[in-house]
Chains A and B, each alone.
Chain A
Amino acid sequence: MSILAKSQAAEIQIGPAALEDVPRVIEIDAKITGEAKAEFWYSFFSGQGSNPKRSFLVARDEGRVVGYIIGTVRAWEFGSPPSGWIHAVGVDPTARKAGVGTKLFNEMVEFLRGAGANTIRTMLHIDDHLLMSFFRTHGMAAGPFVELEMSAEQT
């Protein structure tokens, strides 16, 4: 159950992540995915400073971080013109369903658009219906690319 009422979402501040926010982001991500990926988050954070096409945003409720989103504009990978990738989004389970995810998403789309993206893209697990539902609510739908994979083990 969310401890934030919908009206409280208006108080939520979205802004760039600071170094001292990273441990809290790692904690929320670990709560969601069951894995603490410190190296990944610190390296995304440090890479962001030198790359104007990358953004790491957090949502703060009275100073406390309750959500995060990261994105990058990438060009010509997979033969695609500049597009904005949302790599991850997460809201603390105690702060959900109050519009925090929507605020993070909208800010990120603004950033990616400003950084030259014509398309916004993401990739997620096929069985993650909650997240897929969230992205679809904001107008996203399957695009013209398909992910293919195979085991890298030798057969």
Chain B
Amino acid sequence: MKLQQATRYAIWAAVETASRPGELVSAGDLAAKFGVSQHHLAKVLRTLALAKIVSSTRGPAGGCMFIADPRRLTLYDIVSLFESDWWNSENGVREGKGTTVADEVSRVLREIDRITSATLRSVTIQTLINNAARRRRREAAEKAGAGPSAQAEALEAAAKAAGG
């Protein structure tokens, strides 16, 4: 499954703002962090604001703040805002319908769609944040395999990275 650029930006923006609760994050900040165009990102943020996932404030001190529940908002919720019929591989396909071969191929495609949908519906923004933190801790611990003081240092660095 290939996500459109806007969908990817939206997921990144949701995860980044959700990991900074209560903070007004500027579009410029987000764009710089991910190395993407601020113009494209602003469009994405408007859609997220309409869906009440972030609140947005205009002006020089403006920015956006995550206002949804990160433990309930799933990837599915975000993806379906931007991709209208991704979950139905055969949407609009008419030819071949009713023939045994076409029906068998349809069955396989439905199997794939079902797995994709279940995966997106069960991954919450909080899960993405938690998994990223877990990975940082694991990597820090691996790097610091050398000794206890180096390990403490690496963990501290990971905690700092998680905060910022």
Contact assessment for A132 and B127 in the assembled complex, using a CB-CB cutoff below 8 Å: no
User: Which range holds the interface residue count of chain B?
Assistant: 10 to 19
Q: State how many residues of chain A have any CB contact under 8 Å with chain B.
A: 10
Contact assessment for A137 and B127 in the assembled complex, using a CB-CB cutoff below 8 Å: yes
Instruction: Provide the A128-142 mask, 1 if CB < 8 A to any CB of B, else 0.
Output: 010011001101011
Contact assessment for A133 and B119 in the assembled complex, using a CB-CB cutoff below 8 Å: no
Contact assessment for A129 and B127 in the assembled complex, using a CB-CB cutoff below 8 Å: no
Contact assessment for B118 and A139 in the assembled complex, using a CB-CB cutoff below 8 Å: no
Residues in chain B near residue A141, CB distance under 8 A: 131
Contact assessment for B118 and A133 in the assembled complex, using a CB-CB cutoff below 8 Å: no
Among A129, A139, A142, contact of B130 (Cβ-Cβ < 8 Å): A139
Tell me how many residue pairs across A and B have CB atoms closer than 8 Å: 30
- Shortest Cβ distance from B33 into chain A, in angstroms? 25
**17 additional A-B residue pairs with CB within 8 Å, beyond A129-B122, A133-B127, A142-B119:** A126-B114, A126-B118, A129-B121, A132-B118, A132-B121, A133-B74, A133-B121, A133-B122, A133-B124, A136-B122, A136-B123, A136-B124, A137-B127, A137-B130, A139-B131, A139-B134, A141-B131
- Complex Cα distance A80/B28, Å? 48
- Complex Cα distance A129/B118, Å? 7
- Complex Cα distance A151/B127, Å? 35
- Complex Cα distance A104/B123, Å? 21
Residues of B within 8 A of A (CB): 71, 74, 114-115, 118-119, 121-124, 126-127, 130-131, 134
Asked if A110 is an interface residue, CB under 8 A from chain B, the answer is no
Asked if A127 is an interface residue, CB under 8 A from chain B, the answer is yes
- Complex Cα distance A129/B115, Å? 11
- Complex Cα distance A90/B90, Å? 37
Among B114, B115, B127, contact of A136 (Cβ-Cβ < 8 Å): B127
- Complex Cα distance A130/B130, Å? 17
Chain A residue at minimum C-beta to C-beta distance from B122 = A132
Chain A residue at minimum C-beta to C-beta distance from B131 = A139
The 10 closest A-B pairs by CB, nearest first: A132-B122, A133-B122, A129-B121, A126-B118, A136-B127, A129-B122, A137-B127, A136-B122, A139-B134, A136-B123
Residues in chain A near residue B114, CB distance under 8 A: 126
Residues in chain B near residue A142, CB distance under 8 A: 119
A–B Cβ pairs within 8 angstroms, 15 of them = A126-B114, A126-B118, A127-B118, A129-B118, A132-B121, A133-B74, A133-B121, A133-B122, A136-B123, A136-B127, A137-B124, A137-B126, A137-B127, A141-B131, A142-B119
